[in-house]
Structure formats: C-alpha cells, structure tokens
Amino acid sequence: MHYRTLGRTGIKVSPYALGAMMFGAVGNDDQAESIRIIHKALDAGINFVDTADIYSHGESEVIVGEALKGRREHVVLATKSHLPMGDDPNQRGNSRRWIITAVEDSLRRLQTDYIDVFQMHRPDPDTDIEETLSALTDLIRSGKVRAIGSSTTPASEIVEAQWVAERRGFERFRTEQPPYSILNRGIEREVLPVVQKYGLGALVWSPLAQGQLTGRAPSELRRTARYSHMTDERRLEVVEQLIPVADAAGLKLTHLAMAFAIAHPAVTSAIIGPRTMEHLDDALAGAGVVLDDDVLDQIDKIVPPGTDVGRLDMDYDTPAVLTATLRRRPAADRSAA
C-alpha cells in the first residue's frame, strides 16, 4: 500500500480509509463479523479508521475499540462529534461543554487514551468558532487528541477557522472531510483549492455516491433506494453513461469511482464504508487501479469539473439556505418603488 501524508501533519495514511458507519445496528449488527472486516482491512495495509459517536449511537466506536485491541499503535484513528446523542439539547453541537464530554465518551467506547484525528461532524451556526477551537486546543494540549478537523464545511468557513486559529493562537483544523464522487464534484470549485492552500488533508466521504456507483442497474437502485437522491433521474442517467466508460476501460464501476476520488491532488484518502466482507473484498480488489487521462477526460465530459449532479441527502445546508427569513426581505421592504 502506498501511503500519503495527511495534510501537513506528517502522519502517513493509506489512500483508502476504512469508514465504520456500517458497523452496528444501522448496518451490520453482527459485531464479530464487523471486527473481522476491520482486521482484514488492516491486514491489507489500510491504516486509517474513521468512525463517529453518532454511528449506531456509539456502537460503531465500541466495535472499533474491540477490533483495535493489540493493534492500536499501528492505526490512525479518527472519530467525530456534533450530531445529537440524546434528547438533551446540550448533547450535540460544537460547544466546549459538549466537545469535552463527547471526547471523553468516545475515548471510553474506543478503549484508547488518545484520538489521532478528532473532527467536527458538521459546522455549528450557534457556536462561535473561537469557542470550538479553544476547546479542541485544550484537548490537544492535554494529549487526548493529536489533530483536529472539520467535515462537510463550506470553503468560507474553512478559511474563517484558519484565520481565527492564527489570530488567537489556537490549534488549527488539519483535515476536512467533504463528500466527493463522480456525481458530486462541486467541492472542486472552492473547497479543495482552499484545502490545498492551507495544507489540510482531505478525507472524502461517499466516493461511491452512497451506492449509486457500485455498478447496479438504475432499475435496481430505484427499487432499493434508501435516500431520495437514489431515485434522482438526473443522477441515474449519468450512472448509465458511466457504465460503458468503465466497461471500455476494463474496470468495474466501483473501481472506476474509487480511482477517480483519489486521483485529485488535494485528496488524501477516500473513505470506504463496507457493510459486509464482500464489500470490502471488492474495494480492495481495485486498490491498485490508476485512471489514465483519456478515462478522466471522458468522465469530465459526462460530469463537468466543479459540478454536482443533484445533491446527497446527507450534505450540509447553511442557515442562509434553510431559514426563509435569512433569504427574504420583510414583505413591506420588497417593493422596488
């Protein structure tokens, strides 16, 4: 396995990261099999494991912790917090109050003394970024966290966090975890250039577009859809155009999609999220695939650089989009007269 440097941290990680979202009740509820999947990934050379407190409400972290017994020192372990972990309104978000608690909870579930990369799962409009970075800085100085990162964050907020860290003398985000696939290339326009400018490692999620780029026929995708974007006809039409490109290159669509994701110079690792051993075996079988310029040019013609074909249901919407009062003048002020 060829390893890459995670931003400017000096940490070496595999170009495929093992995502643990499917380990636990939400995906594979057989903990023993999930542990075997993790062990096989590590044996294959993957040294980066990414999980989150919200995955199966902590069960994923418990499974990862069990799997890493005796192997922890050889693994770069990442987890995240932000999403609700209970009914209490303070059991979520990016406040100091919750971050400190969330890290302690994750350390306990993971059965470890430190987290290599601790990430904010989403931005938090209700919390000053200074509050978040201050808490994360204290965790790094205490030795409980080695590096910090963000996830699914707009380019402007990535820049703001870097500036605040410099002005206040806080630790800065070293990684960003955005969605990226052939179907979702919007981050090529601003996020990935910003990541490169500030020396962040990009750990991209959903390189298979949450199952749409696995080679299954559009009719099957419609029948088994779990998310609304899975039945987006624009996305399904693009999938149909990509299948012959993969066939002509002698590749499975899964391998074409993964190779595309790690071909971008700003991308450090692409996160695979196997639910079964078969899924992992398929991903590993394509680990050596490198796309030539002709194939990449064909992909560019189907999905132009910097564009998204629809949106993932799990993507992040800013308050300016979600809140009507932030994008509409009061009725009395709308007149041009």
**Catalytic residue of the set 3, 16, 55, 198:** 55
| Structure-block tokens of residue 241 | 């155009």
d(CA 179, CA 313) in angstroms, rounded, equals 11
Could you report the per-residue pLDDT of 128-142, keeping only the tens digit for each?
A: 999 999 999 999 999
What pTM was computed for the model? 0.94
Could you report the per-residue pLDDT of 157-205, keeping only the tens digit for each?
A: 999 999 999 999 999 999 999 999 999 999 999 999 999 999 999 999 9
Helix (H, G, I), strand (E, B) or coil at 335: coil
Residues 116/147, Cβ–Cβ less than 8 Å: yes
Helix (H, G, I), strand (E, B) or coil at 233: helix
Instruction: Please state the domain extents for the chain.
Output: 4-333
Binning the chain into helix, strand and coil, the percentages to the nearest 5 are 45, 15, 40
Q: Which of 105, 102, 78 is nearest to 173 (CA)?
A: 78
The pLDDT assigned to 314 comes to 84
Could you report the per-residue pLDDT of 190-199, keeping only the tens digit for each?
A: 999 999 999 9
d(CA 265, CA 17) in angstroms, rounded, equals 16
- pLDDT-based confidence at 156, cuts 50/70/90? very high
The pLDDT assigned to 110 comes to 98
Residue 55 among the catalytic residues: yes
The pLDDT assigned to 337 comes to 59
CATH number of 4-333: 3.20.20.100
Looking up tokens 């999930």, which residue turns up?
Answer: 34
Residue 283 dihedral angles phi and psi, to the nearest 5°: -65, -45
* pLDDT surpassing 80 at residue 224: no
Q: Is 211 exposed, middle or buried (0-12, 13-18, 19+ CB in 10 A)?
A: middle
